[in-house]
Amino acid sequence: MAVKKVLRGTTVMLRPMVEQDLTTRAHWLLDPEIRQNLGLPDRPSYTYQTALADSHRWLSDRKSSGDLLWAIDVDGKLIGDVTAHITDFERKGEMVISIGDKAMWGKGYGKEACSLVLDEMFRESEIYYVDTYVVLGNNRSFSLALSLGFTPVGTQTGGTRVLRLIRKAWMARRKAELAS
């Protein structure tokens, strides 16, 4: 399912990810820290052409799997992406974020982008909860998930942490934020 809706926040705009975004994404994948945070193997011989091919495959896989994929823009510049997946018959969702532009880390853009996507997921579906996955050692993403109200529920083989946000908790949180 392709994203057609643009989501706008105070500082970020989430728009459909397009092929032209993949050149920027490929450059991010050359950074060992980015690769580590995404749980990708360290490949010293990794080239831009390989990263670009991997990015094209990634985009194709996201589209064919029914994922919702947004590019995160700040002032017209691509800084990352958010992927969401809704499984209606199980009434659950999944969400993963990546801020590839390291100069944009720690500025609140990820939190705003995730909040927009969570609002959209809970508003447009009947899911009970959303899971997110954080690679062990990616403390920024772990802190982001906790700040959004996710709670740890387990660890997958390989050390990826699973965190969950319950619909009722998110809705109560958003209601309280709007009231203040």
Q: Is residue 158 part of a domain?
A: no
Total domains, the chain: 1
What distances in angstroms separate CA 161 from CA 42, 51, 60, one per listed residue? 20, 25, 26
State which residues form the domain around 47.
Answer: 7-128
- Whether residue 21 is contained in a domain is answered as yes
Q: How far apart are CA 86 and CA 68, in angstroms?
A: 8
Residue 82 lies in a domain: yes
CATH code at 111? 3.40.630.30
* pLDDT single digits (tens) 57-96: 999 998 888 899 999 999 999 999 999 999 988 899 999 9
Please tell me the predicted confidence (pLDDT) of residue 1.
53
Who wins on pLDDT, 35 or 114? 114
Residue 160 counted as domain residue: no
- Banded model confidence at residue 2, pLDDT cuts 50, 70, 90: low
